Structure formats: C-alpha cells, structure tokens
Amino acid sequence: MLTIWHDFLYQPVFNFLIWVYNNWTDQNLGWAVVYMTIILRLILLPFSIISEKNKNKNLEIREKAAQISKAFPNDPIMRKEEIRKVLKTRKVNPWSKAIVLGAQGLVLVLLYQVFLRGITGDKVIKILYPFIDYPGKINTTFYGFELGQTHNSLWALIVALLLFFEIYRNYRKHKVLLQKGDLAYFFLFPLFTFLLLWMLPMVKSLFILTSMIFSIIITQISKIFLKTNKI
C-alpha cells in the first residue's frame, strides 16, 4: 500500500511540482503551487461545472418546495407527493462535488508530505524522475513568507475571511432566514478553518486560497452560461 502511495501518487505530484518550478515560475515554489492548483482545477473543470449545475437545480428545488408548502399547508400527503414529482424532474449528481473535493484533499495531503519529508539535497534527487532536472536549492519563500512555516496568522486569516465573505454572500443572495445552526456555521466554520490552517504549513493556505478564488470565478461564469430552466 505504501509503495502504491509513493509510486503512483506522491512521486508523480512531486515531480510535476518540480517541473512547474523549473519551467514556469522562475524557480519560485509558491507560484509553482499556485500553477499546480490551477491546473488541477482545470482538469476537474467538467466535475466543477456539473457541481454548479447541481447548485442551480437545488436552489430551484428549494424554491419550488417552499411554493408547494404554501399551496398545501394542511395536506402533508399531497405536499409530499408534489415534492416527489419535483425531485424526479431535477436529478442531482452529488458525486461530482465529491470528486472535486476528494482530489483537492488528496493533493493537500501530498503537499503536506512534501514539506514533512523535506525538499532539499538527496531527498529531492532520490524522488525525481530521470527526465526532470534537479533544481538545486529550492526557493521556498513566497513574498517574504516561508511556505513550510506553521503558525502563519496572515495567510490563514485571508482564507478564513474569504470563506466568511462567501458564506455571507451566499446567505444574502438566497435570502436565507438564519437559524441557530446557520449562525454557528457562519462564524464557527471560518474560525475553525483559521485555527486549522494556522497549525499547518503556510503552503496549505496558499493552495486553498487559490482553489477558492478559482471556484468563485467559475461560479460567476456559470451565472452567464449555466442558466437552468425553471421548473
């Protein structure tokens, strides 16, 4: 199992990261992580598009369910039957979002392993494929911040604030009447994210921030090209 992890996951990701570092980023590992994240999201783009379509479908289903509840306030059987009809017309594929999140989670673990093992000297040479040039001393500084440094408050805070803003924007857009559970999620999830990223190497914050910005862009584009028909 460890051999499969190393040979088919860790080593390919590490070599691709070093290839990007050598060829695209003027030997800046931070930008190599950014580019690798964008490439990963582009590979997963078909699943991201399906996930965006599902979001639109779910919103329409919620709106229609609310209308049905108002139309049949005293008839739970009829209400349930009408909602079942709506669900049949709008099939949602939850696996697409699971694939996107799973792939990103896997790369996060691999990046953590890269910095845990170290990226200097013989450790790099042993893992590199013969056709990947040895980069020498790897530049792990990104705009004055060390990618492997833990307890980096600034980058963890940037991610948490962006997450807070996105949750707020989503609630406001859908005009959600907040319950206690929603308020707890609104405040505690960004706080938990900040604490978790604060304990991990700063490269994790950079990866997640890049992926979040990519997701925001995809969401905005989907509003133009992925309009769904009303039920």
| Chain segment 111-121, per-residue pLDDT in tens | 988 887 777 77
110, pLDDT greater than 60: yes
In a 13 Å sphere around the CA of 65, the CA atoms on its Cβ side amount to 13
| Chain segment 120-152, per-residue pLDDT in tens | 778 888 899 999 999 988 999 999 999 999 999
91 class by beta-carbon count within 10 Å (0-12 exposed, 13-18 middle, 19+ buried): exposed
112 occurs within a structural domain = yes
162 occurs within a structural domain = no
40 occurs within a structural domain = yes
pLDDT band at 74 (very low <50, low <70, confident <90, very high): confident
**3-state SS assignment for residue 55:** helix
C-alpha closest to that of 45 among 100, 91, 106, 102: 100
Residues in the chain: 231
**For the stretch 113-151, what's the b/e string if a residue is b when 16 or more beta carbons lie within 10 angstroms of its beta carbon?**
ebbeeebeeeebeebbeeebeebeebbbebeebebbeee
| Chain segment 156-210, per-residue pLDDT in tens | 999 999 999 998 888 787 665 666 777 888 899 999 999 999 999 999 999 999 9
175 occurs within a structural domain = no
216 occurs within a structural domain = no
**For the stretch 186-207, what's the b/e string if a residue is b when 16 or more beta carbons lie within 10 angstroms of its beta carbon?**
eeeebeebbeebbebbbbbbbb
193 occurs within a structural domain = no
Report the percent of the chain where pLDDT is more than 70: 92
State residue 209's pLDDT score.
Answer: 97
Total structural domains in the chain? 1
214 occurs within a structural domain = no
C-alpha closest to that of 203 among 161, 159, 137: 159
Q: pTM for this one?
A: 0.85
151 occurs within a structural domain = no
State residue 223's pLDDT score.
Answer: 78
93, pLDDT greater than 70: no
Mean pLDDT of 18-27: 95
**Phi, psi dihedrals of residue 137, rounded to the nearest 5°:** -70, 120
- List the domain range (segments joined by +) for residue 114: 2-142
